A and B are shown apart, each in its own frame.
Chain A
Amino acid sequence: MKNIILLFIFSFTLATILPAQIEKGDVLIKNGTVITITDGVKENSDVLIRDGIIRRIGKNISVEGIHTIDATGQFVMPGIIDAHSHIGIDVVNEGTDPNTSDVFVGDAINPFAISIYRALAGGVTASHAMHGSANAVGGQCETIKHRFGSIDPEDMKMAGAPRTIKFALGENPMRVHGEGRRIVPRTRMGVEQIFREGFAKAQDYMAEWDRYNTDPDGAKEPPKFDMKMETMADILRGEIIIHCHSYRADEILMLLDVLEDYGVSKICFQHVNEGFKVAPELAAFGASASVFADWWAYKFEVYYSTAYNAAILTRNNVVTSINSDSGELIRHLYHEAAKTQRYGDLSDNEALRLITLNPAIQLGIDDRVGSLEIGKDGDIAIFSKHPLSIYAVPQVTIVDGVVRFDINGDTEDMRMDVDPEAKISTFVDHSYSEEDRCMQGLFEFFIDRK
């Protein structure tokens, strides 16, 4: 019996860990201002990538017959990482239950999504494709690399990146389930109970399986295999990082209490607009925070906010990042990072860490990306000016040593997939679009409220 379980787990992991051959490239970037994040800024320096990995950083590197980019007068930085986005996936919300830990947006990747290319055009090389915030426990998320041009959805996944899951506090789950369906959670207390119930049941589930596995061929019928409980159990085992949509300080502390009760430690709070009120508590717990630069007041629970949030959190030793949560903001995260210099006087390196190494830490991929170091992935963004300058324009974006965006090869129609049945129209649709958003796909739930 154990064999079957092992086989199942093995085939599952094998399927996720060994995707098709990922394209890796060789490239030499010459003579740029190299912003390493972890080892200062190096003027007039070169970066050599071979087989998708950074091999050398220094002066006067010369290699015969390699694709060479002249970055004279330009700025070379690690590819930007967005710890919260919804681009490149066909489904954001499975809004049918307050706990849908069983679903997995990695199953819904759309390699043709033009938003991936647009993100590349903003220097972003990796993003955290997240489930939406309709449910207290949403789905499992996927860390994707922006290998735009690849055709197999599996090739977008950053193989080996830790598993992550979306949690959501406050108004969104209350609205979808409480208001929309008249079920728990209708209040913040209800949201808390969804977590407690999920973890408590998962403990029972684990115990039940442990009892069964002592004698799998014995008298007992095997317990029901439950995808939700499997995922909740994996959170308890520390195998999944929680990324929690949150705004208010009280509910942030509430979740920390819940996690403490169940011995869960890996948590990154998303949005966390009132994070500045509980920064020391977050730091003490070891929780990190991924925030907007200056986006607030779009609903009641987001009124108490400040653009100093990122700076206050940083000064209190909370690992902080700035995210987009939007197919539009993701194109200029470097502007968003620069705002922390106006509001909070962060240094250049501190500001850039918010969109490079820190999000990488939050996603558990900082050993591979987020800074320019030998041995790390060749994910690089090249800017015309210092990336924190309002005049900076992204020039070239490289993923695994492969040039995926070049401003000189940027034609009008970069689509990878053309629908042979769509009507051709040059008519621009300016109506509201909910694409690439947190509450995508939920409209239907609000129409029918009998």
Chain B
Amino acid sequence: MNRIIYCIAFLLICTVGISQDVPQVTNKIYLKNVTLHSQPGQEAILGSILIEDGIIAAVGNNVFIPFDAKIIEGDSMHAYAGFIAPLSYIGLEKPKESNEAPKVKRSGYPPNDVAGITPERSVANAYKKDEKTIANFRKEGFTIAHSVPYGGMMPGKGSVISLNGKDYHEAVLSKDQSMFATWKTARRVFPATLIGIMSKWRELYRNAELSHHHAQAYKSNPQNKKRPSPDAATSALFAVLEKKMPVFFVAEKHRDVARTLQLQKELNFDLVISEARDIDRILDRTKKSNARVLLSLDLPKAEKEDKKKGKEEKKETEVKEAEPAEQTAQAETNEAPPETSKAEPEKKMEKEEDEKSKQLKERKKAAIARYVGQAKTLRSSDVPVSFSYLETKAKDVHTNLRRMVKDGLSEDDALAALTTEAADVLNISETAGTLESGKIGNVVLSTKSIFDDEAKIKYVVIDGQIHEYEIKEKKKKSGEEGEEPVDISGSWSYTIEVPGMTSSGTMTFTKNGDSYDVELTNSQMPDETVSVSDIDMNGNVASFSYSPPVGGMNITLDNELTFDGDTFEGTVDVGDFGSFEITGQKDNPE
């Protein structure tokens, strides 16, 4: 008897935890009473969706319920067409970067794979159905992704895959649909610079054209002609020059975009500018090229104003406290100088310094706003917008998209970027991107509008297969986002990047009730140790301040560290000296 109970309990755990692995009993799913956002620009209505055999059979407010359908109570949840990632590394394992110089005979003439030129590779051979990115993106509502291989300047061909987590042949919608290209240089071999990449593109393309020409001539009349013998890379480019395969070219910054457009203008391939973060100042040329644009969702961090203000105030009081001590020290060494004459120029200098850093902050703020506003700006110039997800973590997708919407991107445009425009870029509009009968049964159900900060995705249906997600209640105690506090105890090595030098040492965190104590050492002062007890812990963010023993100077270092697994990154704020990047990693990761 006990055994049966265990079995049932085990089954239950399975359904909650990894529901997708349990086959559904029925081939019909009925999503009842949902708020239908069938496509961007169309008003939402209350209705239902019937999915049969993985295809949307009916959508609307009067849909028949078959007797054998599995009914999901929508309770007015918001239903969207499954989201589509038009460019990503989803389903691929990130290769480890090696710092070692490749062993080649002549660094000017490395083999293609060492140079990063592997256009013949297909993502089909790198796809892993168990890769965690599939589940992570699916959880955020993504149902289809265009995945491309990792690599150098020309990593290979991408496939459009369903995020159903199945073997490649069952997941793939379209094999080898695109060519992928980046501005990533080779290490210490040609092309080690972007000018090398430009030159290599021209040479590869030109040779492919010549080879293609000869192959065509041979095809029409092989007699008396040398048999064509293009190498793998050259023949892989044939589809690109026949314009059967667009090039998805990563071009983040303004100059990358300009260079990519220059290549496209010279060589004339179909172009999708990808992962763009700074393209608004070169829109005319972009439009002229007929290139599609995929913006990065990787937005610069907003300046944390409130927190900073608090810190500054705190600092001021500290300075005030310190002043009397300094003055007494002066009085001891010198005859007390007339206070005004000394203090005035110093104050003036400080004021100028403040004014300068204020101006710098203003410009930085404007730059951040410009980056966040890219999608909005492109839409106002009638450039269609979708996104690419090479550098964006799944969990940040909706947060960043909401930031764009708050900044003025219309909800319709934002939804289109996730659905219809993404489908258009991949040429799959016939089967995906909207909630219409006949399309693939990919649906997202969200507790609120996806642009609402409180929205949680409850169901993701892919190919008619239901994936259900537990909605966690917010925990009051831990971080703002309701994140579980992470365990950071142990020894960590850190590095602070200061212009012209790096400062490094160790931090040892030990648990102290709900918080931690930390002990710091620095390689420049090996004999000194600084301890801070009861640091602020907010979710995975630790903040603490300390004053290192630097020859009697009163310097406070404000640390804010964000932990992610065995690494952390963050900033160290050193008052007027500025703020520096700090990174760290666990010394003995499990």
**CB within 8 Å of B: which residues of A?**
1, 4, 8, 11-12, 15, 20, 90-91, 93-100, 102-105, 107-110, 112, 139, 151-154, 181, 183, 217-222, 224-227, 412-413, 415, 417-427, 429-431, 441, 444-445, 448
Tell me which of B108, B195, B255 contacts A105 (CB under 8 A): B195
Interface hit among B208-216, B471-479, B544-552, B560-568: B208-216
A183 pairs with B106, CB closer than 8 A: yes
A151 pairs with B571, CB closer than 8 A: no
Tell me which of A227, A415, A419 contacts B203 (CB under 8 A): A227
Q: Which residues of A contact B499 (CB under 8 A)?
A: 425, 427, 429, 431
Given A219-B224, A225-B210, decide whether A100 and B108 contact each other with a Cβ distance below 8 A.
yes
Q: Name the residue of chain A whose CB is nearest to the CB of B225.
A: A219
Tell me which of B198, B359, B371, B501 contacts A104 (CB under 8 A): B198
A interface, by DSSP: helix, strand, loop or mixed?
loop
Tell me which of B199, B364, B581 contacts A103 (CB under 8 A): B199
**Interface residue? B155 (CB, 8 A):** no
Tell me which of A20, A154, A218, A445 contacts B188 (CB under 8 A): A445
Q: Which residues of A contact B579 (CB under 8 A)?
A: 423-425
Q: Once the chains are docked, how many angstroms separate the CA of A427 from the CA of B133?
A: 41
Q: Once the chains are docked, how many angstroms separate the CA of A366 from the CA of B195?
A: 28
Q: Which residues of B contact A427 (CB under 8 A)?
A: 498-499, 577-578
B192 pairs with A95, CB closer than 8 A: yes
Tell me the number of A-to-B contacts counted with CB atoms below 8 Å.
Answer: 168
A421 pairs with B300, CB closer than 8 A: yes
Q: Once the chains are docked, how many angstroms separate the CA of A426 from the CA of B358?
A: 11
Given A103-B196, A221-B228, A418-B364, decide whether A4 and B255 contact each other with a Cβ distance below 8 A.
no
Q: Which residues of A contact B214 (CB under 8 A)?
A: 221-222
Tell me which of A96, A110, A426, A431 contacts B357 (CB under 8 A): A426
**Interface residue? B65 (CB, 8 A):** no
How many whole Å from B89's CB to the nearest CB in chain A? 22
Interface hit among B80-88, B259-267, B446-454, B531-539: B259-267
Q: Once the chains are docked, how many angstroms separate the CA of A112 from the CA of B190?
A: 27
A221 pairs with B226, CB closer than 8 A: yes
* Beyond A415-B363, A418-B364, 20 extra complex contacts between A and B, CB < 8 Å: A8-B209, A20-B285, A94-B196, A96-B189, A98-B108, A100-B196, A103-B199, A108-B193, A112-B254, A151-B282, A221-B229, A222-B211, A222-B213, A225-B210, A412-B359, A420-B300, A423-B578, A424-B357, A424-B361, A424-B579
Q: Which residues of B contact A421 (CB under 8 A)?
A: 300-301
B226 pairs with A96, CB closer than 8 A: no
Q: Which residues of B contact A105 (CB under 8 A)?
A: 195
**Interface residue? B541 (CB, 8 A):** no
Q: Mark B252-292, 1 if CB is under 8 A from A, else 0.
A: 00110011001001111000000000000110110000000
Q: Once the chains are docked, how many angstroms separate the CA of A429 from the CA of B499?
A: 6
B199 pairs with A153, CB closer than 8 A: no
A107 pairs with B255, CB closer than 8 A: no
How many whole Å from B546's CB to the nearest CB in chain A? 20
How many whole Å from A138's CB to the nearest CB in chain B? 10
Q: Which 9 residue pairs are nearest across A and B when measured between Cβ atoms?
A: A97-B108, A425-B578, A431-B500, A429-B499, A420-B300, A420-B367, A418-B367, A103-B195, A107-B198
Q: Name the residue of chain A whose CB is nearest to the CB of B212.
A: A4
Given A415-B363, A423-B571, decide whether A222 and B357 contact each other with a Cβ distance below 8 A.
no
A102 pairs with B203, CB closer than 8 A: yes
| B side interface size, CB within 8 A | 70
**Interface residue? B353 (CB, 8 A):** yes
A154 pairs with B258, CB closer than 8 A: yes
Tell me which of B193, B202, B209, B356 contacts A4 (CB under 8 A): B209
**Interface residue? B20 (CB, 8 A):** no
Q: List 24 A-B contacts (CB under 8 A).
A: A11-B267, A15-B265, A90-B194, A91-B195, A93-B193, A95-B192, A97-B107, A99-B108, A100-B108, A103-B199, A107-B199, A109-B255, A154-B258, A218-B225, A219-B225, A222-B214, A225-B210, A412-B356, A413-B360, A418-B363, A418-B364, A423-B571, A425-B499, A430-B500
Q: Name the residue of chain B whose CB is nearest to the CB of A417.
A: B254
Given A97-B107, A225-B206, decide whether A107 and B192 contact each other with a Cβ distance below 8 A.
no
**Interface residue? B576 (CB, 8 A):** yes
Q: Which residues of B contact A419 (CB under 8 A)?
A: 367
Q: Name the residue of chain A whose CB is nearest to the CB of B301.
A: A421
Q: Once the chains are docked, how many angstroms separate the CA of A153 from the CA of B257?
A: 10
**Interface residue? B156 (CB, 8 A):** no
Q: Once the chains are docked, how many angstroms separate the CA of A417 from the CA of B278?
A: 10
Given A96-B107, A105-B195, decide whether A426 and B353 contact each other with a Cβ distance below 8 A.
yes
Q: Which residues of A contact B580 (CB under 8 A)?
A: 423, 425
Q: Name the residue of chain A whose CB is nearest to the CB of B203.
A: A227
Q: Name the residue of chain A whose CB is nearest to the CB of B207.
A: A225
**Interface residue? B366 (CB, 8 A):** yes
Q: Once the chains are docked, how many angstroms separate the CA of A415 from the CA of B203?
A: 36
Q: Which residues of A contact B370 (CB under 8 A)?
A: 420
How many whole Å from B99's CB to the nearest CB in chain A? 10
Q: Which residues of B contact A98 (CB under 8 A)?
A: 108
How many whole Å from B153's CB to the nearest CB in chain A? 13
Q: Which residues of B contact A91 (CB under 8 A)?
A: 193-195
